[in-house]
Structure formats: structure tokens, C-alpha cells
Amino acid sequence: MSDGPKVSGASFRDPNGCIVQYRGEFLRVIQPSYAAHYQCLFESGLYQELVNQGLLIAHEEIKTEAFPGAFKVIRPRQLSFVSYPYEWCFSQLKAAALATLAIQRAALARGMILQDASAFNIQFIDGKPMLIDTLSFERLRLQPWPAYGQFCRHFLAPLALMSLRDPRLGQLARVHLDGIPLDLARKLLPWRSRLKLSLLIHLYWHAASSQGSGGKTAKNRAPANYRLSSLQGLVAFLESAVQKLDWQPPKTSWATYYGGTVTGGKYVEHKKLLVAQFLQAAQPRSVWDLGANTGVFSRLASATKADTFAFDGDPDCVEINYLETRRTGESRLLPLLMDLTNPSPALGWAHEERMSWMQRQSPDLVMALGLVHHLAIANNLPLDRIEQFFTRLSAWLIIEFVPKNDENAQKLLTVREDIFPAYTREDFEKQFGASHTILRAEPVQDSPRTLYLMRRRD
């Protein structure tokens, strides 16, 4: 494999610089065209202010001859996993929007401005939204905010749709990578949204003014008397618009799963004990919890100092999980929205601008608790396909087998014919035992379920 620099597919569009993968690290190469803006970022004090506030990713300048002609080469803090806006719950997108506006406000106060407002420039690091694009800033010119339309498409439109229609509409960002077109948002929003002045101005009137330009705002020449206070007022108005949007998850069966709808008795506490023991044996540094629900077992992993990503397909569960991480200040647990039967694919130009889910990290350990019966019975996935999937994901596996006589498996079978003669514990152990060493197999108290600790045979 070549050890030379490889330009990231996510950054090739920016003429001022790009992200490159070089010798196992991600670096940002800055071109001379951005030199004045970069110097202003430091001389104004904006860089240090934002880093101190946890709003901008920190970096260090490095010396290398690998990029002749570059103005600077910087090494940002390295991330173990990159998430995308269509994998965030409502409150995560709202937090990212408010962080973007806080950054814009700080930039204006120091003579700079955000030249773009893409949600893809934000990552959740240590549990908080943080800007990762150091080249997003330019020296302030008194003109309408050039990223205003992008902010409305990437943040305000999806938040309004998720708040006033359905949280699943955040998935439109997976189709519209430069944000949800405002004319589309206007058609999907309920009529009552027009009664909100902020949405009337920033979505409805904005959509009308950008009609015929793909929902994007045309650049207008600034009036001669354009003032800094106009930009600051826009930030305040947008902050108010975002703050007023809210969504509360209903008390669904999945969101309250471990509060009473799952097998009772000592099941949950005994399962917690076993999972903690298995984690202690494996000592993972990174964990994916698949079908994590509200993160009850994810927190056992994050408590071991492992970077833990809790994936679930239910927006209610992800919302509740994220709000809990924010309430407790958890920094090693990131809840994310993911349909395991249709995970995020590679997207964008040449399928390289946004990585597929499985391209982004190879976790040390995967947890699949109360999941296999949903994959096998509800989604018709044979055990061999399930085994291949988990074998590909990680070396260590904590997995729970839920037999057909389990109460929750029986609920799945009440709505369909039992066409799964090979779905037995014996078949499960035979299939997974071909690729894994089964280190422990423990019955979980007050249930017919079995919890396994396995290690892949490499």
C-alpha cells in the first residue's frame, strides 16, 4: 500500500485547502490563497477563544516536505469516528445549529465571519458539537451573510420539519447533501408553521426569494449603509428561531423498553452484571452498541473509558439517550440514529464525499443485545448472513440469543408465519462457532435468553 498523501473525498472542492490522509493520520493542507484569513484567525484571538470554549477543534502546525507549495500543514485532533447530520436526533441537530451560530457571533466580534454553515462541518466531540473545518472563516466584509441560505437548508428547515411534522424527516438530509431545499420544506411543513414569524421569514419568504435557484440564495450586493449590527441581528434572530423549535419523544414501547416491557424479574440486573464482566475480559478501547435502545448497556461500556457509539433505528430512543448524555455530561458515549438493515451508504461525488457507516471505524468490540431475533425473524435474515456481518465488524462480540419461545420473539411471530426452522440456539452456536471462539455462554436469569462473549478467529 502506498504511503503517499491521499486527498479526502470530503474536501476536494475547497480551493483554499484539503484534508489528506498521510502516514495513518488526517492532516489539513492550507494553500497560500488562504494565508491572510488564517493569520487573521490567530491574530484576532478567535482561534484561541473558540478552542477554549470547546467550539473549534484544536490543531498543531507541523513541518513536512510532503506538500510543496503549501502555506501551512496542520494536524487537527484526530477523531476515532465521524458522524453525519442524518444520523443525529432532533436535539443533536439543534445543538449543532446553536453551536454554529455561537461561532458566527464570536467571529463577528473579532472581525471575521463564517463563509459556510454546513452541518457536515460539525462533529460531536467529547459529547459536544464542535466545528472541525478550520478554513470556514474569512475576514469580515460588510455584506449579507453568504452562508445564510446554507444555514437555513442544513439546520432550520430540517429542525422545523422534525419539530412540526415528524423527526424521521431529518433523513431527508441523506438525499439532499447540501441541505433540504427550502421550497420542499415549505411544501412539507403544516400550514400552522406560517404563524411562526421566524419560519415565515427564514423559510417561506426565503424560499420564495430563491425560487428558480434550486432553493439556494442568490448573492446580493450589500447596500452602501450595510452595518455589522445587521449581521449580529441576523444571528440573534436565527438563534431565537432555533431555540423556539422543540420536540418531545412520545412514551413508546421502545423508549420504555427496559422500564417494564421487557422480560421482568432479575433479567436486566443479571444481564448488566454479565455485560460488565464480558467488557472487563475484552478490555475494548472502542465499542459499537447495535440496537442500543436508550443506552442502558452502552453506559456500561463508556464507564470503562471505551469510546462508545450507541446505534438505534428509533428516533425516540436516540433522543432520550442523547438528552441523558447531556444531562450527565457523559463524554465517551455518542448516540446515533442507524437502521442496521439499511445503514448509511457512501454518498456524494463518486461515492467518496460521505463514507458508508462501516468504512468509518473498526471497533474493538460490538454489542448486540436483544437484536438477533429482530434481524432473523422480523427481517428474514438467515443466521449465516448475520454471522458474516458481525464477523466483518469487530474482533470481539457480546451477543444475546433470543429463542423463539421468548415472549418478545413470540410477539414477532404473531404477525407472521414461522418459516425459521433453523433459528435455534444450536444452529446459532454452530454458525457463530465456525468463525468465533465462544469464550462464555451464560443463561440470563428470568428469561430463556443466553448471553455470549466471543472472539473472532483471525
Q: What is the pLDDT of residues 54-64, one digit of tens each?
A: 999 999 999 98
Residue 151: burial class (beta carbons within 10 Å; 0-12, 13-18, 19+): buried
**All cell numbers assigned to 84:** 453525519
For 343-350, the CB contacts below 8 A with 24+ separation are 344/84, 344/86, 344/87, 344/174, 347/174, 347/177, 348/9, 348/10, 348/177, 349/9, 350/9
- What sign results for the dihedral spanned by CA atoms 309, 312, 313, 314? negative
**Annotation: CATH topology of 257-456:** Rossmann fold (3.40.50)
Q: CA–CA separation, 361 vs 95, rounded Å? A: 24
Instruction: Specify the CATH number of the domain 85-244.
Output: 1.10.510
- Helix or strand or coil: residue 124? strand
Kindly state the DSSP code that residue 87 receives in the 8-state scheme: G
pLDDT tens-digit readout, 107-162: 999 999 999 999 999 999 999 999 999 999 999 999 999 999 999 999 999 999 99
pLDDT at residue 4, as a whole number: 76
First to last CA, the chain: 21
Rounded to the nearest 5 percent, the helix, strand and coil shares of the chain are: 40, 15, 40
Could you report the per-residue pLDDT of 342-360, keeping only the tens digit for each?
Answer: 999 999 999 999 999 999 9
Rounded to the nearest 10 degrees, what angle do helices 90-109 and 315-328 cross at? 50
Cα–Cα distance, 8 to 346 (Å, whole number):
13
Give the number of other CB atoms < 10 A from CB of residue 340.
Answer: 18
Mean pLDDT of 405-419: 92
**At 458, is the pLDDT very low, low, confident or very high (cuts 50, 70, 90)?**
confident
Number of Cβ within a 10 Å radius of residue 81: 16
Residues sharing a CB contact under 8 Å with residue 48, sequence separation 6 or more, in sequence order: 42
Per-residue confidence (pLDDT) for residue 9, from 0 to 100: 80
- List 22's β-bridge partners, or say none: 25
**pLDDT in the model for residue 265:** 79
Instruction: Measure the CA–CA gap between 318 and 93, rounded to whole angstroms.
Output: 12
- Residues paired with 368 in a beta bridge: 290, 399
Q: Residues of the chain with pLDDT > 70: what percent?
A: 93
Residue with cell 437548508: 153
- The string of DSSP codes covering 330-341 is -SSEEEEE--TT
In 165-215, alpha helices (H)? 182-188, 197-199, 206-209
Instruction: Using alpha carbons, select from 137, 133, 130 the residue that is nearest to residue 39.
Output: 137
Q: What is the pLDDT of residue 108?
A: 98
Q: Which helix (H) or strand (E) holds 39?
A: helix 35-43
- Per-residue HEC secondary structure of 94-151 comes to HHHHHHHHHHHHHHHHCCEEECCCCHHHEEEECCEEEECCHHHEEECCCCCCCCHHHH
pLDDT at 1: 42
Which stretches within 247-333 are classed as H helix?
267-282, 298-302, 315-328
Q: Which of helix, strand or coil describes residue 404?
A: coil
Residue of 93 and 2 predicted with greater confidence = 93
**Cα–Cα nearest to 429, from 406, 451, 407:** 451
For 393-405, b/e burial (b = at least 16 CB within 10 A) is bbbbbbbbbbbbe
| Of 66-80, 167-181, 201-215, 378-392, minimum mean pLDDT range | 201-215
Residue-range domain boundaries for the chain: 6-76, 85-244, 257-456
Give the pLDDT of residue 280.
98
Q: What residues form DSSP beta bridges with 307? A: 286
Average pLDDT for residues 368-380, to the nearest whole number?
96
CA distance 144 to 432: 59
Cα(13)–Cα(18) distance, integer angstroms: 8
Give the confidence band of 208 by pLDDT, cuts at 50, 70, 90: confident
Closest CA to 152 of 194, 84, 200: 200
